[in-house]
Amino acid sequence: MKRFIYADNAATTKLDIDAFEAMKPYLLEEYGNASQPYVFARKPRKALKEARSVIASCINAEPEEIFFTSGGTESNNWVLKSLTSNNQSGIITSAIEHHSVLNAVESATKNSGLAAYLPPTNEGVVLPSVLKKTLSPETKLVSIMFANNEIGTIQPIKELCEIAHEHGALFHTDAVQAVGHVKIDVKELGVDFLSASAHKFNGPKGIGFLYIKKGIKIAPLLNGGAQEFQMRAGTENVAAIVGMAVALEKNCNNLQTNQEHLRALEKKFIDELNIQDIRFVRNGASERIPGNISLSFQNADGEALLHLLDLRGIAVSTGSACDSVHTQISHVLKAIALDESYAKGTIRISLGVNNSIEEIPLMVDAIKYALKV
Ligand code: PLP
């Protein structure tokens, strides 16, 4: 049987087996509505409470600062729209954010001219000095992602946040690619809001959370019942929340081991490319999310590479989007000013905890073959 290699962990991850096992009772036996007062609802209610504390402690937050959502897109939209929808509040973000931030900012600030998109360096870093120059008295919110999903660059969040606060603006970070992969301490960072998504750290899909610092005022996302401290109504998905907590706790407990494993895989990958004499540019800064390898090959076609690797049972992603006629260069690669001859030939390999060292030479062989076709 052909071997399948999954190397698109920045898109989504495999559900952790312990998370899966922990979820099962809340789908089959303990299915009571956590808001009901009877005995049958006690276990799900307790599980919800425990999951909130576990998640809070993983990022050094308080349990009442964690609000469960359906994932990264929802968390980002909640913050960006509720703080900027009156069309009088300015928002500063970066040109390399995920579309769940960029499109929410556009929707919230339509025609107001109050959105600014900071250009990053060629390595994808949003410089604090650039933020400082852009802040204005209208700026109410600054939203900069913790780590970029295409090229992995980690941003100087603490410094950026301090500058925003000095100017009286609130600070949000989309930490979807970072939570569960690097150490995150919301108190140390000082952020007011932080978005996370379980399926990026071996939890289930369709569940995530928004951290909201105690004392910060934000409008409820959904009105209805009293769930999520009356901020996000709707019957809680207890099983998914429990799965998310188990996956996050496991990742946080194994953070160092996982990081070492992924760094070793990355090193092997780059060494193999060099041994095989494959010419490439690696995108992003040296400070990047473990396992992210964004590679550009001059005069290659990223879409074609993806499909050739797919034929060999290897799942990766591109740095470009194909509209059936033209290959379009992603907004991230444009923003880092990568030469078009490289940008079109970009693929993103994102390794995860389930990848093994034996898979690396197989992937590099497949790339060598695909580049020659
Ligand atoms: N933000 C970033 C940086 C992401 O990479 C993603 C998903 O790819 C999202 C937000 C959206 O998260 P979700 O899939 O949970 O809506």
- DSSP letters, 31-84, are ---TT--SGGGHHHHHHHHHHHHHHHHHTT--GGGEEEESSHHHHHHHHHHHHH
pLDDT tier, 324 (very low <50, low <70, confident <90, very high otherwise):
low
**Which pLDDT belongs to residue 253?**
98
Burial of 43 (0-12, 13-18, 19+ CB in 10 A): middle
Residue of 73, 97, 105 best suited for mutating to test ligand 1, as the one with most atoms within 8 Å of CB: 73
Atom of ligand 1 nearest to the CA of 12: 8
Ligand 1 centroid, distance to 350 Cα (angstroms): 14
State the sign of the Cα–Cα–Cα–Cα dihedral 339, 340, 341, 344: positive
pLDDT in tens, 340-354: 999 999 999 999 999
Rounded mean pLDDT of the chain? Answer: 95
pTM (2 d.p.): 0.97
pLDDT in tens, 163-181: 999 999 999 999 999 999 9
pLDDT at 52 over 80: yes
Q: Mean of the pLDDT values across residues 95-114?
A: 90
Tokens 């610092």 identify what position? Answer: 213
Ligand 1 centroid, distance to 277 Cα (angstroms): 35
DSSP lists the bridge partners of residue 212 as: 193
Neighbours of 312 (CB within 10 A): 17
Catalytic status, residue 322: yes
Residue type, 337: A
Among candidate residues 58, 161, 252, 322, the one labeled active-site is 322
Q: Nearest 5°: phi and psi at 147?
A: -140, 140
pLDDT at 322 over 70: no
Ligand 1 neighbour 141 (Cβ under 6 A):
no
pLDDT tier, 373 (very low <50, low <70, confident <90, very high otherwise):
confident
pLDDT tier, 86 (very low <50, low <70, confident <90, very high otherwise):
low
pLDDT at 142 over 70: yes
Ligand 1 centroid, distance to 57 Cα (angstroms): 22
pLDDT at 264 over 70: yes
CA dist., res. 229 & res. 235, Å (int): 12
**Which pLDDT belongs to residue 326?**
62
